[in-house]
Amino acid sequence: MNAIKYILLGTGFGFVLTKAEVISWFRIQEMFRFQDFHMFGIIGVAIVVGIISVQIIKRFELKAADGEKINIPDKDPTQVKRYMIGGLLFGFGWALTGACPGPLFALIGSGLFIIIVPLIAALAGTWVYGLLQQKLPH
């Protein structure tokens, strides 16, 4: 039952990403060239809806479906280097492949099997990060 729940939610998420054309290499280029409002509109509105939702969850101490209190984790803001360097490197990859991790999966689902190549490369990147983690500045 739990498994089906997450698969269904993922399916919904992948479907919206696809219909929004967020998974398009061309749309990502359009965004980084500031030539259309589409991507900024999507990310901006998603963040506004997210912020309002999280505020409602916190103010009213809402519970999850299983009755547990919803716990919104904090991320350590002191590791400035990791966010700046890691963020920059991710941004390079985002512009090159035109896809962040979610779209990689949705693109493969849409039948573009060539995207298995950047996905395997992303797994390799993840693995190399794990290997070097303790030597990298964070």
Does the footprint of other proteins cover residue 33 (CB under 8 A)?
yes
Does the footprint of other proteins cover residue 35 (CB under 8 A)?
yes
Residues 110-129 that bind other proteins (CB under 8 A): 110-112, 114-115, 117-129
Q: Which two tokens stand for residue 64?
A: 């999850």
Radius of gyration of the chain (CA): 18
Does the footprint of other proteins cover residue 77 (CB under 8 A)?
yes
CA distance 50 to 47: 5
Give the orientation angle of helix 80-97 with respect to helix 25-32, to 10 degrees: 120
Residue choice 26, 59, 60, 135 for contact with other proteins (CB under 8 A): 26
Does the footprint of other proteins cover residue 72 (CB under 8 A)?
yes
Instruction: Kindly tell me the burial class for residue 86, based on how many C-beta atoms sit within 10 Å of its own C-beta (0-12, 13-18, 19 or more).
Output: middle
Q: How far is the CB of 9 from other proteins (least distance, A)?
A: 6
Does the footprint of other proteins cover residue 1 (CB under 8 A)?
no
